[in-house]
């Protein structure tokens, strides 16, 4: 996001946002924030139809912030909205960590159940094989009872 857009989100002036960034430069490495080149800035001006430089436009090249930079901005700005956003971000990180711990516990329990199930299935297979090996004794012919004729 561009500095002017973030200034609007955090309800501060763009110059105050950039001043806070300059005062806390060590908190904004290249993967958090970078300054647009003159060519990139001109392309944006043409795309958004903003005023020309020298006629009320920007004097400095705009800064662009990654999602990490946006989160860091909430900790260096002193507006009420930035403070609320920073608190929300911190709470979200804590909830995310708790969810990951819960998922790890569940994954571990599932692995334990799978191990137990595999052990039980191997025992069942062995029992079935042993039962199959057992030969049933041959059936003895039962003597018939009743009246017999010698014809047969």
Tell me, what's the pLDDT at 117?
Answer: 87
Tell me, what's the pLDDT at 103?
Answer: 84
State both tokens at 43. Answer: 């392309």
Q: What residues does each domain of the chain span?
A: 3-102
Q: Angle at the Cα of 129 (from 127 to 131), degrees rounded to 5?
A: 70
pTM of the model: 0.55
Q: For residues 33 and 65, is the Cβ–Cβ distance under 8 A?
A: yes
Q: Please choose, from the candidates 83, 65, 75, the residue with its C-alpha nearest in 3D space to the C-alpha of residue 3.
A: 65
**10-residue averages of pLDDT along the chain (152 residues):** 90 92 92 90 68 60 90 89 89 87 83 85 82 73 70 60
């Amino acid at each position: 996001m561009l500095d002017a857009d973030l200034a609007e989100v955090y309800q501060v002036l763009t110059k105050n946002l950039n001043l806070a960034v300059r005062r806390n430069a060590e908190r904004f490495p290249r993967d958090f924030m970078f300054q647009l080149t003159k060519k990139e800035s001109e392309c944006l001006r043409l795309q958004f139809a903003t005023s020309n430089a020298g006629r009320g436009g920007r004097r400095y090249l705009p800064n662009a912030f990654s999602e990490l930079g946006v989160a860091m901005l909430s900790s260096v700005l002193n507006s009420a909205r930035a403070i609320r956003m920073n608190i929300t971000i911190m709470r979200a990180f804590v909830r995310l960590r708790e969810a990951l711990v819960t998922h790890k516990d569940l994954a571990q329990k599932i692995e334990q159940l799978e191990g137990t199930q595999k052990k039980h299935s191997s025992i069942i297979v062995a029992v079935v094989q042993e039962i199959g090996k057992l030969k049933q004794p041959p059936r003895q012919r039962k003597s018939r009872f009743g009246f017999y004729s010698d014809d047969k």
